[in-house]
Amino acid sequence: MKTLLVVFHSMTGGSEQMARALIEGAATEAGTATRLLHASAASAADVLNADGYAFATPENLGAISGLMKDFFDRCYYPVLERIDGRPYAALICAGSDGQNAARQIERIATGWRLRPVAAPLVVCTHAQTPEAILAPKAIGAAQLDRCRELGAILATGLAAGIF
């Protein structure tokens, strides 16, 4: 059985909702197990023991969140050259365009020699004031469906040996 590891960080609930929806979509595929870990709890061993990945983060100050960066910092070198070619996807809950956060994940994944299975899935909440940025997020049904679809694609590809 293949394993899909989903690592997330969420301050206001948006990226966690996206990660959980991705897990729901992946669960529809027999032959793929899923693991959902908060970025602070995920380790290099978790990365090594997975066959594919999804990384879900909020866009904070135009970048990935600090705890997601911490996850990558802790795990980067211990798994370097040991996970080459594995598939990944990125989910970003953004207040603006999310593009810098997407670029950061892409650069890290490129260093790990991971293969993207889809363009980064960015959900824009348009939160631009301090109150809106800090408020709990509710991701819309259509965006959560996109996350579920991506989860199903990842799980199907893993189970079929495509990725």
In angstroms, rounded to a whole number, what is the distance separating the alpha carbons of residues 18 and 141? 10
Decide if 162 contacts 34 (C-beta within 8 A): no
User: Which of 1, 2, 6 is CA-nearest to residue 147?
Assistant: 6
**pLDDT reported for residue 58:** 98
| pLDDT, the chain, mean | 97
The torsion angles phi and psi of 79, rounded to 5 degrees, stand at -110, -5
At residue 15, the pLDDT reads 98
Task: Say how many domains are in the chain.
Answer: 1
Residue pLDDT, tens place only, 46-78? 999 999 999 999 999 999 999 999 999 999 999
Percentage of the chain with pLDDT > 90? 97
Average pLDDT estimate for 126-153? 96
Full domain range(s) for residue 23: 2-160
* Per-residue model confidence (pLDDT) at position 76: 98
pLDDT at 13: 98
pLDDT tens-digit readout, 17-49:
999 999 999 998 888 999 999 999 999 999 999
pLDDT computed for residue 40 by the predictor: 98
Determine the pLDDT at residue 84. Answer: 98
Q: Read off the CATH number of the domain in which 43 is found.
A: 3.40.50.360
Q: What is residue 30's predicted lDDT score, i.e. its pLDDT?
A: 86
So what's the pLDDT on residue 117? 97
